[in-house]
Structure 1
């Protein structure tokens, strides 16, 4: 979103039904493993990866629809073999999941980010792009916006990926499972850098990812609630209006569409939709997304 449209969405959120929102780690999240690899420095949270362990955290609640964001500064220097992830996921074998995976590099090479999306337990929807800035030099925002019409991945408010609801075409869409919010850093040198050809150099450890400004502006779901109850609770009706159901957020506007085209034209290095070796038949959603038209 543009800064102005983002501000307007914020105002709408204030005027409509209140939802969970915060910027403090301890209010929203808790460590999920390797507590001794966490460091708190004022408002900053640092996660450490060494040759003993990585680390990760998870939201205390689960959510359905809305927006989650973090400010993140990635591992500096030679980070080959490491992966820092920020994602949403439900539970079970038929889970839904939205992934940001930041793939480490050797010094001087561009950082790449891989996104993926699982629906009913099926993933294999990877897209990869080289970021247009050095994400290890400063903090940048990474966000996932989700409603019943679309899932949008954003970097500094620029959309880098959209997954549109195409249920009317017989293609499943993730809209019925509450999801937790997670982040972690771990060693993945079997695949993360140049397909696993470049291994982690542990002489550069510890590898540190730094976080701040955690925000969840979404519909909080009780852990014991049934799926149908969550879907009903988090959808607008006559007596409640949620900001994520506003008509202006049902698809990208023209400016956002142009931003997305710029990203794809200049920074995308891999798209599963174009990988004929993996998918001799083009995945159905790729055929329909290719003909996407922005809202005017």
Structure 2
């Protein structure tokens, strides 16, 4: 996207740009499934999702967003979490949805979680990158962020970028920019594939499994369904829309390279066996 287009977008949105400052899950999300396994606690400051053999649980944001910087603090399922998946993602409605995914694949006690990321555009994904973390994500809360603006998508952990997906529409690569998305999260059983390709199954004697959430914050343009412009029902206006044109600076690029060198365990852009007819076009675009 050209600088002129970015400036025009900023101008069009400036009158309706709001920050949906979170801090109360009662106001910000709806628990959408789980028959009571999802709970809002501590006067709305804490949310937990649980999984047992009959069912998992999940929630979604009340608001839809058209571009956003979403921050959420998570503490993942402790102990033997093999077979479980905790998700945290942005998604539009079906069919042919756009989606920006964080998925946390559980593991045997003592083995690290795998952080699985993906980007879907018009219903097509197949853009997986996977990472280990440099800390134990079950011991304390850590901040997982998704920046989605017209220039790029950035996945970050505690402010450190781990993945960047640039807008390369000029090179024929679709980019999610036309459909509003909500935040979703879920905890569910995926022992047919999640841990070592499904070879390690969920140990239900350890159930219920629980993941915890706090400090959800959305700096975003809040979409009003049926309208072509952004609006917000937030009472907190924001004069700082810097995230809407934010890109990685040189320091952030160095941190990104550090993570990818030391903690990336899968990158679709190097999987020649998966793409025998040639890697996807975005893989040849320099970061």
TM-score (normalizing by structure 1):
0.85
> Which residue, 160, 166, 169 being the options, matches 2:168?
166
Report how many residues are paired: 265
1:127 equivalent to 2:144? Answer: no
1:30 equivalent to 2:30? Answer: yes
**Alignment root-mean-square deviation, CA:** 2.0
TM-superposed CA distance for 1:233, in Å, is 7.0
For the Cα contact (< 8 Å) 1:61–1:223, is it kept in 2? no
Q: Which moved more, 1:184-193 or 1:20-29?
A: 20-29
Distance (whole Å) between structure 2 residues aligned to residue 188 and residue 18 of structure 1: 37
For the Cα contact (< 8 Å) 1:114–1:126, is it kept in 2? yes
1:115 equivalent to 2:117? Answer: yes
TM-superposed CA distance for 1:109, in Å, is 0.5
Q: For 1:145-294, what aligned pairs fall within 5 Å after superposition?
A: 145-225=147-227, 229-230=228-229, 242-246=241-245, 249=246, 251-280=247-276, 281-288=278-285, 291-292=286-287
Show the counterpart of 1:51: 53
Q: Give a deviation string over 1:7-58, Cα, whole Å, max 9, x none.
A: xxxxxxxxx9433222211111011101410233313211110001000001
For the Cα contact (< 8 Å) 2:26–2:40, is it kept in 1? no
Distance (whole Å) between structure 2 residues aligned to residue 274 and residue 66 of structure 1: 29
Distance (whole Å) between structure 1 residues aligned to residue 81 and residue 105 of structure 2: 8
| Gapped regions of structure 1 (runs ≥ 5) | 1-15, 235-239
Deviating beyond 4 angstroms after TM superposition, the runs of 4 or more aligned structure 1 residues are none
1:21 equivalent to 2:5? Answer: no
TM-superposed CA distance for 1:169, in Å, is 1.0
Q: Which moved more, 1:100-109 or 1:18-27?
A: 18-27
| Gapped regions of structure 2 (runs ≥ 5) | 1-15, 233-238
Distance (whole Å) between structure 2 residues aligned to residue 132 and residue 241 of structure 1: 31
For the Cα contact (< 8 Å) 2:115–2:133, is it kept in 1? yes
Q: Give a deviation string over 1:209-249, Cα, whole Å, max 9, x none.
A: 01111111101001222xxx24x779xxxxx9843334xx1
For the Cα contact (< 8 Å) 2:180–2:223, is it kept in 1? yes
